[in-house]
Amino acid sequence: MSVPRGPVDSSRVPRFAGPATFARLPRLDEVEHADVAVVGVPFDSGVSYRPGARFGPSAVREASRLLRPYHPGLDVSPFAEMQVADAGDIACNPFDIREAVETVEEAASGLMEGGTRLVTIGGDHTIALPLLRAAARRHGPVALLHFDAHLDTWDTYFGAEYTHGTPFRRAVEEGILDTEAVCHVGTRGPLYGKKDLDDDRRLGFGIVTSADVMRRGVDEVADALRQRIGGRPLYLSIDIDVLDPAHAPGTGTPEAGGLTSRELLEILRGLVGADLVGADVVEVAPAYDHAEITSVAASHVAYDLIGLLALKEEK
């Protein structure tokens, strides 16, 4: 087995120089095979309020320059355990959402050939649907932990079926989720009506609100989530607005009362041992992100996801 090619050595090349890839990792075309590929999807035509997440992948990559190769919270050096590479961006039609969804699905499926697992940086949450389709092609219906301020199980927006508020309803309808093991984490804020919760429950989702995390604590929440998903193939979808605007102002639909970045990272670290098969981090909109707070948080979330995949590789 060849030794993985890791990031550029920061003791020789300053962090503000060198490649603009995620964590200054090699490009996918520079390695023979990638166990994990970080891929961007600069698409935000499915948003219902503030646009700008099409610039999320480049902002998160820029913020990731400060990441270091050893993860003390997970006790793993992920870039040494497996080959991680940056696959660049999936270019989508910004004027045709249906076509964009098909493009992401086909591109993601192609990248996953040979067993590569994806950590995807969005882009708006519309892209979760085609990514879940690609994951289900390979693994069958998957368990889902959805970290978000919002449910994203609404039926339509302005008559449109494919938006950032509808991906998980479509996923349930298409049979690509294991509805015995699906849960929202961090939800909060006003809804259109109580029917939103009734519909969501009917689709099979459990809910752990941000207030639940505050009252129960991250260890208890992580344990409950592990019990819910069991040993099923797991997909993690993380809307950065699960964080409070104090921790993630650069997003399209901020809601007060969210998780801290520390709570989110600790819940993710509590999922060690799960059969993680793919993940996304979405809705980073750098135009609203003063001091790169949101991009930094998202880069660390992506790093933790890679760390979880590396620990799975060790087993």
239 carries a ligand binding annotation: yes
155 carries a ligand binding annotation: no
* Strand order across the 142-147 sheet: 84-89, 36-41, 117-122, 275-282, 233-239, 142-147, 177-187, 206-209
Contact indicator for 238, 152 with CB cutoff of 8 Å: no
- Angle between the N-to-C axes of helices 128-139 and 97-111, in degrees from 0 to 180, rounded to the nearest 10: 40
241 carries a ligand binding annotation: yes
Contact indicator for 40, 123 with CB cutoff of 8 Å: yes
Contact indicator for 65, 114 with CB cutoff of 8 Å: no
150 carries a ligand binding annotation: yes
125 carries a ligand binding annotation: yes
86 carries a ligand binding annotation: no
Residues present in the chain in total: 315
Annotated binding-site members: 125, 148, 150, 152, 239, 241
Annotated binding-site members for Mn(2+): 125, 148, 150, 152, 239, 241
